[in-house]
Amino acid sequence: LPGLAHFLEHMVFMGSEKYPSENGFDAFLKKHGGSDNASTDCERTVFQFDVQRKKFREALDRWAQFFICPLMIRDAIDREVEAVDSEYQLAKPSDSHRKEMLFGSLTDVVLLWYLDTLEEWVKEIFSGVPNNAQPKPDFSELLDPFDTPAFNKLYRGRNTCSIEVKPLHYISWLIGHEGTGSILSILRRKCWAMALFGGNSETGFDQNSTYSIFSISITLTDQGFQNFYQVAHLVFQYLKMMQSLGPQQRIYEEIQKIEANEFHYQEQTDPIEYVEDICENMQLFPKEHFLTGDQLMFQYSPEVISAALSLLTPDRSNLLLLSPDHEGHCPLREKWFGTHYSVEDIQQEWRERWNGDFELSSDLHLPVKNKFIATDFSLKLSDCPDTELPVRVTANDRGCLWYKKDNKFNIPKAYIRFHLISPVIQQSAKNLVLFDLLVNILGHNLAEPAYEADVAQLDYKLSVGEHGLVIKVKGFNHKLPLLFHLILDHLADFSACQDVFNMFSEQLKKTYFNILIRPEKLGKDVRLLVLEHGRWSMVEKYQALADGGLTVEELMEFSRTFKTQLYAEGLVQGNFTSQESIQFLQYITDKLQFSKLPAEVPVLFRVVELPLKQHLCKVKALNKGDANSEVTVYYQSGLKNLREHTLMELLVMHMEEPCFDFLRTKETLGYHVYPTCRNTSGVLGFSVTVETQATKFNTELVELKIEEFLSSFGEKLSALTDSAFNTQVTALVKLKECEDTHLGEEVDRNWAEVATQQYVFNRLHREIEALKQMTRAELVSWYLEHRGHNCRKLSVHVVGFGPEEGDPPGDDNSSYGEVSKLTFLPASPKMAAATSIMDIPSFTQSLTLFPYHKIIQ
């Protein structure tokens, strides 16, 4: 029965004979600062949880009862089927899921206790788990699982080993290389592709007891789509070149060195993630490789690599071409996801060419020696007094730098982050689009020269901020300045030719389109458009691009203007001295040569003050084949201080499990249901969100159920005992007191203070102190004050297509109306008390604006 393992993954959480309460395990974990999760792959299900140390044994016993004596009550089964179906409905529009299902249809077939104490607990608690003593299924006789006439074809669809050697890792390293001479390098030069991913993901779908696959996924441009056979031919040429040259020991040892460096100097990860990784490794590797099997390459064996390479030939391949242009040309339909597709023979001309001794492109070659691999791992001595928090080591009218030397984790790594703030970005929707293009094309220009740094474990990320360009660089400090200088050099000398401009304009238009057709993304855009004054909507950005009025000359002019109107604010942490860190800011100002800004640029929006009543903004989803809806009910609190922000965190922590139990488990409204503490440009509020389907529920009914939950939660909160309140406070305090597991966690927290220009680097400590002084009465009073007639409430509904919303019957195929315009819907009599927002600018223009506000007191 397909999906049974996934369904049972859900059901075991619904109570056991020893602990019969539904969601009792979740409630226990939430009460004691813990969390849990589970995931089902093709051949295994992984369950995991974490909790405060003193409650670990009790949690372990509750957990073990999942597998010893789960209740499986009929009523719970019926309700959880709905939850699984909601998860399925959320996955149906996903191209990656649809592709896997289509592909699958082609085949025939660090511890805080002593280890001995933990081992004793596991033996004692898990001894009751049934075991049928049967061996694991053996599929070794299936030598060619895809040896079927259906496999070696061209499929058109519509969008919606050796443990020691790791031969597929070696091959994927070369196939996925983006440097000079690579497949992607040539495709980018021709403007035929944006990205390429090659390899075996080691998920249950890519690698299991019956087969392993090697996938090469290429994101084509429109021009590349028209030349997809030539694209495939280039891939086969590269594979043939690799087969002709044979395995290269120099390249293997370079990969081996990079992986070893990362392993030996890796930072500690979150314990629950580490446990999950080791748990999965225990299913895949022998005992001696539980800790290292997924990370290290142990020995070079050209024979093993050659054997794997010899299997990557055109006659063993399957081509899958996904495009919305195939609309109306896909008569076949996949059973489970309903994906429409067609099957055709690979063109005879190409089949004959690939079966023969075809020539290789002279542009293809293997990577050269990597200059970014670190060799100096020494720790630097401080050149200034050590501090617990970042300090500003330099500041002038063009920028400033915050710095902290790492003396805690003591690794030869560092983090460099800069926010290049500019007033020109938010001047118009057109400027926002030009800024997106600038950052995307800058990334494209860097892709080839910076790729060697990327594979040498030096990471960089260029992000479009609301008010500036964010540059993040991290990795081994030895070669990190090389990468940072490379990025700034390319920004200073930014250029874009017409073909690249056209390619990225078309790609950005698709990106905006994909955001608009996703209910959760559209819901966020609508909510912030109502709340934040001066924000440009995704629809306005899409229109600015879709109108076709932008030119490469305008992009170059925007680039010049942007680079002359900047303020650079940065943070450097890790294995650099203060003087070395100051040089990064100096390099920015010297290279870009910008002048002082005439006025300070705010890094926040001003926010509207919602009236003391309920408002409903209800828009129709844009994908007529998507039943998914989203409802967010938001309560605005206002300009508050750090204490009240912490109080809201505590409220949401109290709310999480009851929200899940009421709206998902009992009412089965949808798979994703959650409360959120919201900080909107310094203005606080909280919300409850439900993602549902129009085939099952009307969004207004969902909102009424949310209100029903909030009322029942108010009663539950009022009846809360001091003991239960103190337990939850302690749990939140313990979470905030958790030591950072790696330097990146500390940097992320400090960067959030720099990026928002709040600079409360000891915020966690102050929140803990505030929590210790809170009372139950204060929490209850705050919640009740934000309910009823005292509330400033905004509801945002993104309404999917289905019978519960009055839509006529139709199939579940994606189809779109006018994407450059939103359809606003009025409230029904069910929500007569709400004022409908039918035009956002008209609604917000008369509202009071809060002043700029930072939560620093």
Q: Which residues are catalytic?
A: 9
675 in Cβ contact with 652 (< 8 Å): yes
Q: Which residues contact 337 (CB under 8 A, 6 or more apart)?
A: 91, 92, 97, 98, 101, 102
Handedness of CA 447, 453, 455, 459 (dihedral sign): negative
Q: Which residue has the tokens 């699982």?
A: 145
167 in Cβ contact with 103 (< 8 Å): no
> 3: phi > 0 → left, psi -120 to 50 → alpha, else beta; which?
left
The DSSP element (H or E) to which 131 belongs, if any, is none
d(CA 175, CA 215): 10
The DSSP element (H or E) to which 167 belongs, if any, is helix 167-175
d(CA 615, CA 156): 46
**Residue 607, strand partner residues:** 532
Q: Which residues contact 842 (CB under 8 A, 6 or more apart)?
A: none
Angle 731-736-742 from CA coordinates, rounded to 5° = 130
d(CA 685, CA 526): 16
Q: Backbone phi, then psi, for 780, in 5-degree steps?
A: -60, -45
Angle 647-649-653 from CA coordinates, rounded to 5° = 115
Helix axes 763-773, 642-659, angle to 10 degrees: 70
d(CA 486, CA 372): 12
d(CA 483, CA 455): 12
d(CA 716, CA 720): 6
d(CA 631, CA 670): 11
Give first-to-last CA distance, the chain, whole Å.
Answer: 58
Burial category of 648 from C-beta neighbours within 10 Å (exposed 0-12, middle 13-18, buried 19 and up): buried
Q: Which residues contact 243 (CB under 8 A, 6 or more apart)?
A: 306, 309, 310, 312
